[in-house]
Every structure is written in structure tokens, then in C-alpha cells.
Structure 1
């Protein structure tokens, strides 16, 4: 697992990337979170890099909008 500082960073990146995604769109948020966690586990720790991974995932993820 990640230390508290890294966990806080990952959470902040997720919230920033998903700011326009409803909190009820759990599939999209889960997909983005999964991709961010995967990137972090492979060594990506820069905010910009993690945000890019999250944005890419958001564009590819299972988003169900009305």
C-alpha cells in the first residue's frame, strides 16, 4: 500500500480529474481511480502524470451520462 502522503495525493488527483463527474457515477470514478492506482503502483508519482492518466481513463471509461 501507499503511505498517507501518497494516498492523499492520489485522492486529490482523483477528485480533480473527476470534478465534472457526478458522485453517483461510480463506474466512471472507479475506472479512473483504478487507472490512477495502477500508474502509481508502477512508479508514476508526479501530479501532472497522474492527472494525465486519470484524464485518459475518464475519456475511455464506462461513463453513462444522461
Structure 2
């Protein structure tokens, strides 16, 4: 379980990175969130590390139609 400060940090990073992602695109937001959380579990705690993981997830986001 994450402490409240860490959870707030991860949420803030997610919200910032997904500000242009519609709320209904839950799969994209979930993908980004999972990559941010993975970075956090690898002890990549700086805000820039977390944002980099999230940006990388957005660049490689899964799409249904190609």
C-alpha cells in the first residue's frame, strides 16, 4: 500500500501527463498509470523519472485501430 504523499504524487503525474487524454479513454490512462507505478516500484522516485515512464507509455500507447 502506498502512503498518501506517494499516492498523491503518482496521481499528479498521471493527471499532468494525461491532461489531453479524454477521461473515457480508460485503457490509455490505465496503461500510463501502470507504467508510472512500475517505475515507482523500481525506486525511480524523481518526478522526472515518473514523467519519463509515463511519456514513454503515451508514445507507445496501444491502439485498437491502425
Alignment TM-score, normalising by the size of structure 1: 0.91
Within-5 A mapping of 1:1-66: 1-63=1-63
- The higher-RCO structure (CA 8 Å, 6+ apart) is 1
Number of aligned residue pairs: 65
Unaligned runs of 5+ in 2: none
Q: Could you list the runs of 4 or more consecutive aligned residues of structure 1 that deviate by over 4 angstroms after TM superposition? A: none
Alignment TM-score, normalising by the size of structure 2: 0.91
The superposition leaves residues 4-61 of structure 1 with CA deviations (integer Å, 9 ceiling, x where unpaired) of: 0000000000000101100000010000000000110110111111001100001111
